[in-house]
Amino acid sequence: MEHLSCKGPLIGDSQLLQQAATGDANAFEVFVVRHREAVWRFTRSLERDPGTAEDALQETFLAAWRSAPSFRGEGSALGWLLSIARHAVYRQYRGKAGEPDRVESLAELGEAAGWGADEDPLDVLVVKDEVNRALACLAVEDRELLILREVEGLTNEECASLLGLGLSALKSRLHRARLRFVAYLRGERHGH
C-alpha cells in the first residue's frame, strides 16, 4: 500500500496507530517497520542477551498492537513505544537482585571525563567500537538514558515522563551518565 509507506512520513504515527486500533494490520506493519530498529537498539542496550532482547522486542510490539486504542498522541509515538519496551525488559528483571550503585561526586566524574585536559573529550566519540564498548560497560540506567536522549532523540521531558523522573532529576542523571560515558572512553584511550 503506497499511502502507508514508511519510507517517508506520508502518514503520521498517530494516524497509523488509530488505523491499527480499528484492526488495520497493514497500518500497524508500517508502524513496526518504521520503529523496529529504534526499539531493537533500546531493548539491546538494556539487555545484553540478544535472545532476551528479541523477546522484549516481540513483547513490545504485541503490547503496542493491543494498546493502540489507548495511544492519545500527547507525546511522540516513539516515546510511547519505548516506554512499552522498557517495561517489557524490566519485567524480566523482577525478583532479581540488582547491583549496588557506586555514588561518585561530580568532581570525580568531571576529572575522569577529562575536565581541564588538553584534549577535547568529544573527539573520542568518533570510534564506533569504543562507543559501543563504553555503552555496554555503563549501568543499565545510564545506558537507557543515553540511548533515549542521544540516540533516539527524545526530549528531556519525554525521557523524564518515560522514566518516571522529575525534569531536574533527569537532567542530573543525564549529566552524570554523559560524564561516566566520556570517562570510560577516556580511560580506554589512556589504558586505565
Write down the mean pLDDT value for the chain.
Answer: 81
- DSSP string covering 93-155, please? TTTPPPPPPPPPPHHHHHHHHTTT-SS-GGGGGG-HHHHHHHHHHS-HHHHHHHIIIIIS---
**Looking at the structure, do residues 81 and 120 belong to the same domain, yes or no?**
no
Number of helices (H), then strands (E), belonging to the chain: the values are 9, 0
User: For residue 123, is it within any domain?
Assistant: yes
- For residues 171 and 146, the answer to whether their CB atoms sit within 8 Å is no
**How far, in Å, CA of 76 to CA of 82, rounded?**
10
- Per-residue pLDDT of 131-166, as tens digits, reads 778 888 889 899 989 989 988 899 999 999 999 999
**Could you tell me if 17 and 52 lie in one domain?**
yes
Query: Model's pTM, two decimal places?
Result: 0.59
So what's the pLDDT on residue 81? 94
In a domain? residue 97: no
Q: What pLDDT does 49 receive? A: 86
124, 44: one domain: no
In degrees rounded to 5, what are phi and psi of residue 77? Answer: -65, -35
Q: What is the pLDDT of residues 78-90, one digit of tens each?
A: 999 999 999 999 8
Same domain, 73 and 11: yes
Q: Is residue 99 part of a domain?
A: no
Q: Is 177 exposed, middle or buried (0-12, 13-18, 19+ CB in 10 A)?
A: buried
Which pLDDT belongs to residue 132?
Answer: 79
How many structural domains compose the chain?
A: 2
**Domain membership of residue 173 as a residue range:** 106-189
Write down which residue in 58, 91, 124 finishes a domain: 91
Q: What is the pLDDT of residue 96?
A: 45
- Average the pLDDT over 39-46 and give the result: 91
Residues 79, 18: one domain?
Answer: yes
Of 41-50, 99-108, 168-177, minimum mean pLDDT range = 99-108
Specify whether 78 is located in the same domain as 128: no
- Of 35, 56, 91, which residue sits at a domain end? 91
CATH number at residue 47: 1.10.1740.10
Across residues 90-97, what is the average pLDDT?
61
Quick check: is 39 in a domain? yes
Residue 94 is predicted with a pLDDT of 55
pLDDT at 2: 38
